[in-house]
Amino acid sequence: MSEPLHCSAILFDLDGVLVDSRAVVERTWQRWAVRRDVKDSDLAQKAHGRRSIETVNDVAPHLDAAEEVRWLAAAELADFDGVRALPGANSVLAALRDNEWAIVTSGGSELARRRLGVAGLPTPRVLIAAEDVEVGKPDPDGYLLAAKRLGHVASKCVVIEDTPAGILAGRRAHAKVLALCTTFPKLALVGADMVANSLADIKLQRVGLEFTIQDIQRVA
């Protein structure tokens, strides 16, 4: 069992942390790859946890990234098949007050709000989406902005992520990072302060104005 993490607020990634949208993401990128004749066996893994514009620029720099992002966004907004809350998401969010949590997602704001609604999860007071930052993860700007809008210092927050890019963004914001093995295996989650299988495998305990987070099940 890892040492407990102490924090005054929690900054959540969305997809792969609170919401399971993996099938939608992978379907969308597969359709896009066929449409644009992009051959990259690691495309889905490259797309997880990053803004679409950065993935497009990475794998197809010859294309008009803005145009491709519009197509990708429209495709995801038309597909919610299989979107659901991940284990433990409801109970963890129910334990937090409005000024104690935020979401920082690499997707668009409308998509995030729609996925939260489909999954039956609340929309936070502070939601930082792709259009709110100039550079996406692994840049720390999203997490720094979320902490600021909540009225907290990022170094006093815990970031909960599921991708290497997200972990690095949290570290660069000087936050503690809890990584979940929902999208990548444990060996890929380098740099996290704690690793758990899902939110169902952590214990959140309020201590005055702060929280402690413990992992209660060993990750294989």
Going by C-alpha positions, the residue among 171, 160, 172 that lies closest to residue 198 is: 160
Better pLDDT: 1 or 36: 36
Identify any residues that bridge with 180 across adjacent strands, giving them in sequence order.
196
Residue 220's pLDDT is 65
Q: Out of 16-20, 59-63, 215-219, pick the least confident.
A: 215-219
Query: Among this protein's residues, is 139 annotated catalytic?
Result: no
Rounded Cα distance between 165 and 186, Å, is 14
Domains in the chain, start-ordered, CATH in brackets?
A: 5-20+83-215 (3.40.50.1000), 22-77 (no CATH)
Helix (H) or strand (E) holding 102: strand 101-104
Percent with pLDDT over 90 in the chain: 79
Instruction: Tell me if 99 sits within 8 A of 150, measured CB to CB.
Output: yes
CB 153 within 8 A of CB 5: no
Confidence of residue 1 (pLDDT cuts 50, 70, 90): low
Pairing verdict, β 176-180 and 157-161: parallel
Determine the number of helices (DSSP H) and then strands (DSSP E) in the chain: 8, 11
pLDDT, one tens digit per residue, over 71-113 is 998 999 999 999 999 999 999 999 999 999 999 999 999 999 9
Q: What distance in Å separates the CA atoms of residue 26 and residue 32, rounded to the nearest whole number?
A: 10
Structure tokens belonging to residue 108 = 């668009």
Digit-coded pLDDT (tens) for 135-188: 999 999 999 999 999 999 999 999 999 999 999 999 999 999 999 999 999 999
- Residue 13: active-site member: yes
Say if strands 19-20 and 84-85 run parallel, antiparallel, or are unpaired. antiparallel
Which residue, chain included where needed, has tokens 């359709």? Answer: 31
Element (H, E) at 145: helix 141-150
Average model confidence (pLDDT) across the chain: 93
- For residue 47, is pLDDT > 90? no
pLDDT at 154: 97
